[in-house]
Amino acid sequence: MRQILVAGNWKLNGSLDSVKQLVSGILGGVDDTGNTAIAVCPPFVYIPLVSNLLVGSKVKLGSQDVSDQESGAFTGEISGPMLKDFSCSYAIVGHSERRALYAENDEFTARKFAAARSCGLIPILCVGETLEEREAGITEQVVARQLDAVIELEGIAAIGDAVLAYEPVWAIGTGKTATPQQAQDVHAFIRGKLAGLDQAVADKVQILYGGSVKGSNAAELFAMSDIDGGLIGGASLQADDFLAICMAGN
């Protein structure tokens, strides 16, 4: 039985005051979240602050991105070892906003995945199709291609050390959630594809769903057999909304 994981992606949001308030709100309700594993992914600059605030709690810390490089002349980059210095456990890689707005392709994403893993961060690898791709009937092809880039570089066993997040691009920040069955179908496809390469990896890996998850729809999504939690954008910015999703994992 895989543990439910709920990870909040705060994106480019927050201020010193709002971040303190948000963390304090989450910590105030965390005792009611049972066995659900929880992580928050603040903007880089707030990671040291959030890292301190989370000490002693069950809430883990993640980054929204990570450099494919470890150190050197790479202006503006943040490396995996730097994130480890602040007790990060997770690093999101290949979020659709990085892919679409910053032209990060499958190979580059795979290198970020490798960089995260090599310093002991758990990559949260995002995959998912656009509306156009769904309507063209190529959802599975797109998701398979995104996964294959990582498997080719790192091998199938590496997927067992990671978390996957299926995030249909058309459902991110749009209020249009995939139905539980639509999400389950793609999750089952992903798990089946992995099982064809390594059954143990397929059984072990947590596959999160992301795309307009809210307190009101989380329980039915998380009840699907291949959905192991959620990657949450908008609803992770309010402690009560985020906690309601965490509680839906019980």
Q: Does 172 bind ligand PEP (CB under 6 A)?
A: yes
**In the complex, minimum distance from the CB of residue 104 to ligand PEP, in angstroms, rounded to a whole number:** 15
Burial 203-241 (b: 16+ CB within 10 A, else e): eebbbbbbbbbbbebbeebbebebbbbbbbbbbbbebeb
Q: Does 173 bind ligand PEP (CB under 6 A)?
A: yes
Tokens matching residue 56:
């002693």
Closer residue to ligand PEP, CB minimum distance, 8 or 80: 8
Residue nearest to ligand PEP (CB): 233
- Distance CA(214)–CA(233), nearest Å, equals 10
Tokens 């009937």 identify what position?
A: 137
**In the complex, minimum distance from the CB of residue 213 to ligand PEP, in angstroms, rounded to a whole number:** 6
Q: Does 83 bind ligand PEP (CB under 6 A)?
A: no
Stretch that binds ligand PEP, among 29-37, 132-140, 143-151, 211-219 (CB under 6 A): 211-219
Q: Does 23 bind ligand PEP (CB under 6 A)?
A: no
Q: Which residues are the active-site residues?
A: 95, 167
Q: Does 169 bind ligand PEP (CB under 6 A)?
A: no
DSSP single-letter state for residue 238: S
- Distance CA(95)–CA(125), nearest Å, equals 7
Return the H-helix or E-strand segment holding 38.
strand 37-41
Stretch that binds ligand PEP, among 99-107, 132-140, 215-223, 226-234 (CB under 6 A): 226-234
Tokens 């059954």 identify what position?
A: 199
Residues at the contact surface with ligand PEP, assessed by CB under 6 A: 9, 167, 172-173, 210-213, 231-235
